[in-house]
């Protein structure tokens, strides 16, 4: 059991922020997270305590980076002071951090996410993992490898309720498996080049690519524009959000807005 001491860390908020789909509250104050090929149990007995069911070594090897605990989020929150709405949003979302998740998992997860509600996305992902992932025990399964999805038939993929996205999953997995699209090379690219490269993948458009950049490559300057953000920008910023005020970390601001707006709409 390792106790995290960190400001701006709210596991519940992260689980609800829509950036990850495999972190769930299994009972009050207890979360399970499947990531990095492991199942991590997280206990949040109160607002200021967070206990990970892992060794200190595992924490420093894996989870410190996964939870982005070396980044100071206070500066991001402070910078919204002159914007009443964003100030409220960033205070409400002050425990949200941008996780360092696996790029491959992000690509597949966000391809699935298009035109789906968050519960439906989670259902599909869990079916996919149960069918093609590695059995981790206790009903948990790892995220499938590239070759596992590449080798699956469209018929198999359709059993996971992904519908027309099955073709995208298969094509994307195949092009990556073949080596014609090299995920490992991507982290060396700058933001513009990375975006352009991701857009080559089947089923990946601007929104999905932005999410992959933000959540899979930790490009905090990526700014996914989804229906929620578009609504906020239209209603509160006359259709023009001042991204330049938050240059380099627009993605963090996007998360605050997304999370807060969903709260206002009763989704959290």
Q: Which residues bind DNA (CB under 7 A)?
A: 17-19, 113-121, 123, 158, 161-165, 168, 201-209, 211, 224, 226-229, 254-255, 258
Min. distance of Cβ 1 from DNA in angstroms? 29
In SS3 terms, the chain reads as: CEEECCCCCCHHHHHHCCCCCCEEEEECCEEEEEECCEEEEEECCCCCCEEECCCHHHHHHHHHHHCCCCCCCHHHHHCCCCCHHHHHHHHHCCCCCCCCCCHHHHHHHHHHHCCCCHHHHHHHHHHHHHHHCCEEECCEECCCCHHHHHHCCHHHHHCCCCCCHHHHHHHHHHHHHCCCCCHHHHCCCCHHHHHHHHCCCCCCCHHHHHHHHHHHCCCCCCCCCCHHHHHHHHHHCCCCCCHHHHCCCHHHHHHHHHHHHHHHCCCC
Considering the complex, state which of residue 59 and residue 101 has its C-beta at the smaller distance from DNA: 101
Min. distance of Cβ 259 from DNA in angstroms? 8
Min. distance of Cβ 216 from DNA in angstroms? 13
Considering the complex, state which of residue 10 and residue 53 has its C-beta at the smaller distance from DNA: 10
Considering the complex, state which of residue 62 and residue 257 has its C-beta at the smaller distance from DNA: 257
Min. distance of Cβ 249 from DNA in angstroms? 14
Considering the complex, state which of residue 18 and residue 59 has its C-beta at the smaller distance from DNA: 18
Considering the complex, state which of residue 59 and residue 228 has its C-beta at the smaller distance from DNA: 228
Min. distance of Cβ 111 from DNA in angstroms? 7
């Amino acid at each position: 059991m390792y106790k995290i001491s960190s400001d701006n860390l709210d596991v519940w908020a992260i689980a609800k922020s829509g950036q990850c789909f495999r972190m769930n509250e299994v009972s009050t104050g207890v979360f399970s997270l499947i990531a990095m090929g492991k199942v991590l149990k997280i206990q949040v007995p109160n607002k200021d305590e967070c206990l990970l069911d892992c060794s200190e070594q595992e924490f420093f090897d894996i989870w410190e980076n996964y939870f982005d605990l070396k980044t100071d989020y206070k500066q991001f929150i402070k910078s919204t002071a002159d914007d009443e709405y964003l100030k409220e949003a960033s205070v409400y979302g002050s425990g949200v951090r941008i996780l360092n998740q696996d790029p491959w998992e992000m690509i597949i997860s966000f391809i699935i996410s298009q035109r789906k509600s968050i519960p439906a996305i989670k259902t599909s992902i869990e079916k996919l993992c149960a069918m093609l992932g590695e059995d981790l025990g206790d009903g948990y399964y790892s995220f499938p490898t590239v070759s596992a999805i590449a080798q699956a038939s469209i018929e198999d993929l359709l059993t996971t309720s992904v519908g027309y996205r099955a073709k995208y999953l298969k094509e994307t997995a195949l092009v990556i498996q073949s080596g014609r699209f090299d995920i490992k090379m991507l982290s060396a690219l700058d933001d513009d080049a990375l975006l352009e490269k991701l857009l080559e993948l089947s089923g990946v458009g601007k929104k999905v690519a932005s999410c992959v950049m933000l959540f899979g490559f930790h490009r905090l300057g990526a700014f996914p524009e989804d229906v929620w953000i578009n609504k906020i920008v239209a209603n509160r910023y006359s259709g023009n959000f001042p991204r330049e005020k938050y240059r380099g970390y627009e993605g963090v601001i996007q998360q605050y807005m997304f999370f807060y707006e969903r709260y206002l709409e009763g989704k959290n």
